[in-house]
Structure 1
Amino acid sequence: MPNPTRAFLLGPLLKGVSRSFYLTLRVLPARMRDPIGLAYLLARAADTIADTPLIPPDQRLALLLALRHQVNGVADDSALFQRIAAEVAGQQAQSDEKLLLESLSPALDVLQQLSESDRRAVRAIVTTLTEGMEFDLRTFPDERSAQLVALPEYDELDRYTYLVAGCVGEFWTAMTYAHLPGTLKERPDTMTHRGVRFGKALQMTNVLRDCGKDLRIGRCYLPQSMLDRHGLSARDLLQPANSMRARPLLVELVRDTLDHFRAARDYTLAIPASAVRLRLGCLWPILIGLDTLLLLVDNDAWLDPARVSKVTRNAVYRIIASSLLLVPSNALVRHAIDKRIRRIEARL
């Protein structure tokens, strides 16, 4: 008999809070949807807690850590969900976000209904993602403090992109081997490495696209060591007029990001052409990510939060429509990705 609570959480609620990811999720093979969808819901709830600026960072961190313990089954704090509903849910402007926070208890009931292996994998990915959120809360100042902190070194940025996105490629790969055995012919360690870089490609794109906005809440993910090398400070980046002065730094980071996208391309091409749904689930974020980078390198005011480089909804729909013709062919998939990479490199 169908479970209506599970159907609601992994259907209408997931659609309401996941935006474009829901498109990717719906195209995945059915066996992968529930664990990936539930992991997304739990991580999204944790992220909403971590990103609610009207609550002091130490209070957010305490709730985040308590939720992590609850997900991992190492604590049974029946009052936690009431605290989250009372302290965080009421602060949400989006009704879907509020409903998600109020639905955490049934979401953890669904977690218990998963197979042991899926439950273990979901707990692991949520733990790692919340470590990325914890990193933000411990590293950067209160958004209302008017302070600004840059990550010290590139290694911190690389580690951060693993915690908040690279680990998702790892999880996605594990789910594929578990639920679609025999589909991937490459060695698991090869695909896992590519999957991690796939996630890093997407997160680096987000970091560069959202730089202007993040700076205004005190977060500079562009490393201080790189800023020093280019004769810049984090506060220099607060001035949109310095966008061209900071372009050499942007170029260096875009080149690194394109190397990650090449690994994402190889990951996608290692999926058999017959696994159309799985291929589409990889191809869409690659094409959208590369089109975002193209907008970014063409944006002379990339540090201006009012001029963010964002692919339009109509452009996303065009990518989805055109990809249906590309996906059965290795040559066409490679051409679509490499053409975008070449166009970006030509502008650097």
Structure 2
Amino acid sequence: MPTPTRAFLLGPLLKGVSRSFYLTLRVLPTGMRDPIGLAYLLARAADTIADTSLISPEQRLELLLALRAHVNGATDDGTLLRRLTAEVAGQQTQSDEKVLLESLGPALDVLSQLGESDRKAVRGIVTTLSEGMEFDLRTFPDERSGQIAALGNEDDLDRYTYLVAGCVGEFWTTMTYAHMPGTLKERPDTMTGRGVRFGKALQMTNVLRDCGKDLRIGRCYLPQTLLDRHGLGARDLLLPANSLRARPLMVELLRKSLDHFHAALDYTLAIPGWSVRLRLASLWPILIGLDTLLLLVQNDAWLDPQKVSKVRRNHVYRIIGESFMMVASNAMVRKAVEKRIAQIEARF
């Protein structure tokens, strides 16, 4: 294939592999767009390696660690890229993901061309996200083994949600202070803490929404200590008929998720109303995440992978349309978010 250009990597290819997140990326202020988009591409490539179940977890881990080293500046004679093309790219059913893996050389070249602070930040976020993928590969059994493992305790779940999403809120905040100086009036440590909780809110939403699907590849992100408290085992959750029995467990984790969403709201309200693009980029995932949790709490078969609580695309576009009318008003943003939280809590 021809050598991909920077414009192709951060345009059509990014759109192809990021799906709905591309909407958020496009609304970002210009200076933030390229480093965040590149970080997403590199992390998505790492995730594709980690999720390719047709090769062994040990092989995936080896390739993941090699990619992490190259992101962080290790030199390569082309062996890694050839291995990724031969061992992983050909296994992809999505053509965009195949092209992404075949485009890692040019993507790493773009990384080397970033300014020093952006390059350091992108390397940091991709490293941390890949540690979350490593955590998965080391914690859970091979998807084809028929076995299931659960996280040990709630600290493990909290660490996991940081590694795969909380760190993104941290990175996002770093990018905002670097590229939009003077925009955020709160102290950096305050905003970073809120950003971490923002990411955790979104990942907790994913954990609950995707529970039925994850169990079928041997992964139970609901901690064993929590299962024990509710008289459940990981295999009990494989039965959709146990959805009501497991509902108190789901509600307990929902409460934790909503606490994080309150911090996400505080994060968004700390962005000045005149910074419309940055506000929209924060507001959209909050509204979509809360609407997902509302579907979840209304779903009496939430453990059934055939009945996933997923916000439909036309509803996402409706959220986007409505957000333009409220984004500059603290009162309207707060009302929209708190209304959704109240609707969810009313279903407990």
State TM-score, norm by structure 2.
0.99
> What code does the residue aligned with 1:257 have?
S
Tell me how far apart the structure 2 counterparts of residues 29 and 77 of structure 1 sit (CA, whole Å).
36
After TM superposition, give the deviation of residue 75 of structure 1 in Å: 3.9
Counterpart of 1:182 in structure 2 is: 182
Tell me how far apart the structure 2 counterparts of residues 4 and 111 of structure 1 sit (CA, whole Å).
14
Secondary structure of the structure 1 residue equivalent to 2:5: helix
Tell me how far apart the structure 1 counterparts of residues 77 and 167 of structure 2 sit (CA, whole Å).
27
Counterpart of 1:211 in structure 2 is: 211
Tell me how far apart the structure 2 counterparts of residues 170 and 123 of structure 1 sit (CA, whole Å).
13
Larger displacement relative to structure 2 (73-82 or 86-95): 73-82
Counterpart of 1:96 in structure 2 is: 96
Counterpart of 2:346 in structure 1 is: 346
Counterpart of 2:193 in structure 1 is: 193
After TM superposition, give the deviation of residue 76 of structure 1 in Å: 2.5
Counterpart of 2:288 in structure 1 is: 288
Work out whether residues 92 and 98 of structure 1, in 8 Å CA contact, stay in contact via their aligned partners in 2: yes
Counterpart of 1:155 in structure 2 is: 155
- Cα deviation, 1:78-97, whole Å, max 9, x if unaligned, reads 21001001100000001000
> What code does the residue aligned with 2:287 have?
L
- Cα deviation, 1:234-291, whole Å, max 9, x if unaligned, reads 0000000000000000000000000000000000000000000000000000000000
Tell me how far apart the structure 2 counterparts of residues 152 and 27 of structure 1 sit (CA, whole Å).
39
Work out whether residues 294 and 344 of structure 2, in 8 Å CA contact, stay in contact via their aligned partners in 1: yes
Runs (4+) of structure 1 exceeding 6 A deviation are none
Tell me how far apart the structure 1 counterparts of residues 101 and 145 of structure 2 sit (CA, whole Å).
26
- Cα deviation, 1:101-139, whole Å, max 9, x if unaligned, reads 000000000001100000000000000000000000000
Tell me how far apart the structure 1 counterparts of residues 288 and 213 of structure 2 sit (CA, whole Å).
20
Secondary structure of the structure 1 residue equivalent to 2:68: helix
Counterpart of 2:265 in structure 1 is: 265
> What code does the residue aligned with 2:109 have?
D
After TM superposition, give the deviation of residue 306 of structure 1 in Å: 0.2
Tell me how far apart the structure 2 counterparts of residues 156 and 326 of structure 1 sit (CA, whole Å).
37
> What code does the residue aligned with 2:347 have?
R
Work out whether residues 14 and 22 of structure 1, in 8 Å CA contact, stay in contact via their aligned partners in 2: yes
Question: Pairwise mapping of residues 1-348 of structure 1 onto structure 2 (< 5 A)?
Answer: 5-348=5-348
> What code does the residue aligned with 1:72 have?
N
Tell me how far apart the structure 1 counterparts of residues 245 and 289 of structure 2 sit (CA, whole Å).
24
> What code does the residue aligned with 1:212 have?
G
> What code does the residue aligned with 1:138 have?
R
Tell me how far apart the structure 2 counterparts of residues 112 and 152 of structure 1 sit (CA, whole Å).
39
Secondary structure of the structure 2 residue equivalent to 1:347: coil
Tell me how far apart the structure 1 counterparts of residues 79 and 59 of structure 2 sit (CA, whole Å).
15
Work out whether residues 4 and 103 of structure 2, in 8 Å CA contact, stay in contact via their aligned partners in 1: no
After TM superposition, give the deviation of residue 4 of structure 1 in Å: 7.2
Work out whether residues 50 and 61 of structure 1, in 8 Å CA contact, stay in contact via their aligned partners in 2: yes
Tell me how far apart the structure 2 counterparts of residues 305 and 77 of structure 1 sit (CA, whole Å).
43
- Residue segments in structure 1 that go unaligned for 5+ positions in a row: none
- Cα deviation, 1:53-74, whole Å, max 9, x if unaligned, reads 0000000000000000000013
Percent identity of paired positions between Structure 1 and Structure 2: 80
Secondary structure of the structure 1 residue equivalent to 2:272: coil
- Cα deviation, 1:290-345, whole Å, max 9, x if unaligned, reads 00000000000000000000000000000000000010100000000000000000
Work out whether residues 70 and 77 of structure 1, in 8 Å CA contact, stay in contact via their aligned partners in 2: no
After TM superposition, give the deviation of residue 77 of structure 1 in Å: 4.4
Tell me how far apart the structure 1 counterparts of residues 128 and 90 of structure 2 sit (CA, whole Å).
27
Tell me how far apart the structure 1 counterparts of residues 4 and 280 of structure 2 sit (CA, whole Å).
28
The aligned length equals 346
Tell me how far apart the structure 1 counterparts of residues 86 and 306 of structure 2 sit (CA, whole Å).
33
- Residue segments in structure 2 that go unaligned for 5+ positions in a row: none
Give the alignment's Cα RMSD to 1 decimal: 0.9
Tell me how far apart the structure 2 counterparts of residues 28 and 331 of structure 1 sit (CA, whole Å).
23
Secondary structure of the structure 2 residue equivalent to 1:325: helix
Secondary structure of the structure 2 residue equivalent to 1:88: helix
Tell me how far apart the structure 2 counterparts of residues 74 and 48 of structure 1 sit (CA, whole Å).
21
Tell me how far apart the structure 1 counterparts of residues 268 and 120 of structure 2 sit (CA, whole Å).
26
> What code does the residue aligned with 2:96 have?
D
Tell me how far apart the structure 2 counterparts of residues 85 and 266 of structure 1 sit (CA, whole Å).
44
Tell me how far apart the structure 2 counterparts of residues 148 and 39 of structure 1 sit (CA, whole Å).
31
